[in-house]
A and B are shown apart, each in its own frame.
Chain A
Amino acid sequence: DIQMTQSPPSLSASLGDKVTITCQASQNINKYIAWYQQKPGKAPRLLIRYTSTLESGTPSRFSGSGSGRDYSFSISNVESEDIASYYCLQYVNLRTFGGGTKLELK
């Protein structure tokens, strides 16, 4: 099965910063990676699918890139509403989540 290594586990940012989270798959996942945002007490929300396709309603300050085994997710100009945890998910072969990244305000 495919493993997803997500880093960093936590991230501290100031409002307006750009932050980047990475996920590395244990094998080529052919861009079948999605990114989720989760706020406390809520279900995850799908932000990006197939590496870089933004879901309807996802602000343009969110972006994704990558190929093969290595992928990244960025938030430019962090806003207070972006304070949450973020997870990657590979869905090319069964499904595997990354370990998550908790984004906090500096």
Chain B
Amino acid sequence: EVQLVESGGGLVQPGASLKLSCVASGFTFSDYWMSWVRQTPGKTMEWIGDIKYDGSYTNYAPSLKNRFTISRDNAKSTLYLQMSNVRSEDTATYYCTRAEWLSPFDYWGQGVMVTVSS
């Protein structure tokens, strides 16, 4: 059974940094592109970016490219999202997702909440 389990969320102050993790199981992690998606409290869904199966290439949503960094550790079957200089508009539930090249997200984690507030 495919499982994606995110962690690392919580309350963070504006301007701070935060790193989310996603541990994958039930499939060969190193065979798949992986993505992060977030959903705002207003229910808007936003793709953040993705990373190639070997970690050699990343894509980002243009609006987030400069502050967010996606990485992975295939030996640990873990996906990461490094968030820097966070803003109140980064308050959202963050999902780890799996997707092949030219495929939609087929599996999602349960999500982790990030609240940016002073």
Give chain A's interface residues, CB within 8 Å of chain B.
1, 32, 34, 43-44, 46, 49, 55, 85, 87, 89, 91-92, 94-97, 99-100
Interface size of B in residues (CB-CB distance below 8 Å): 22
Binary interface profile of B, 102-118, with partner A (CB < 8 Å = 1, else 0)? 11111011110000000
Q: Is the interface of B mostly helix, strand, loop or mixed?
A: loop
A1, A55, A94: which has the most chain B beta carbons within 10 Å? A94
Known contacts A32-B102, A89-B105, A91-B104, then 13 further A-B pairs from the complex at CB < 8 Å, ordered by chain A residue: A1-B62, A43-B95, A46-B104, A46-B105, A46-B106, A89-B47, A91-B103, A94-B47, A94-B59, A95-B35, A95-B47, A97-B45, A99-B44
- The interface residues of chain B lying within 8 Å CB-to-CB of A94 are 47, 59, 61
Tell me the chain B residues, 26-80 only, with Cβ under 8 Å from chain A: 35, 37, 43-47, 50, 59, 61-62
